[in-house]
Amino acid sequence: MKTVFFDIDSQLDFLYPAGALYAPGAEKIVPAIARLNHFAAASGVPVVSTTDAHTEDDPEFRRYPPHCVAGTWGQHKPESTLLQSRVTVPNRECPLAIEGAAQIILEKQTVDAFETRNLPRLLDLLGAERCVVYGVVTEICVFHAARGLLRAGRSVALVTDAIAELDAANARMAIDEVLAAGATLTTVSEVCGQ
């Protein structure tokens, strides 16, 4: 079964107190995300890292405070989570030149990665069957990614000690919904070994 890791929106604006849409305590999961990404690379498993890449007047800012504006500090990922061999796939029609890339940074402008032009093609190109999902924010972008992967016929393992939320009650409901749809729960140690 072909495995792909999904590092969802691990960006500075979400992970650190100085960020525009900080998830309290999210900085604590950065080492877990880095460990998962580097374990995947060492194991020959591709990592798809979704990233918000908003414009300054993005429609999403009617619902959420401005965050992850393309090119700003907050839009970047922590250095520790980046892999040496990586490519960025913009949210527009383009060739998917991912040959040899350990990390594919998939840009998006909405909470649902499945609203990007390239995720369905990327899943097929990678032959993704089993998806290991982690990142931020649990009840929003992580939820949409996990639910979308399940709907696309992929199996999903949600890494519980590598996710962070804005609201604990909403995060629990999101986790319950993806579990009811067939996802499983795992931990960093279970994925990477002790």
CATH code, 158? 3.40.50.850
The answer to whether the CB of 105 falls within 8 A of the CB of 98 is: no
What is the mean predicted confidence (pLDDT) over 94-111? 93
Residue range 122-181, pLDDT digits in tens? 999 999 999 999 999 999 999 999 999 999 999 999 999 999 999 999 999 999 999 999
Number of domains in the chain: 1
The domain of 45 spans 3-192
Determine the angle formed by the axes of helices 143-151 and 168-180, rounding to 10 degrees: 10
| pLDDT for position 95 | 87
Kindly state the DSSP code that residue 26 receives in the 8-state scheme.
G
CA distance 106 to 113: 8
| pLDDT for position 170 | 97
| pLDDT for position 43 | 96
pLDDT over 90, % of the chain? 93
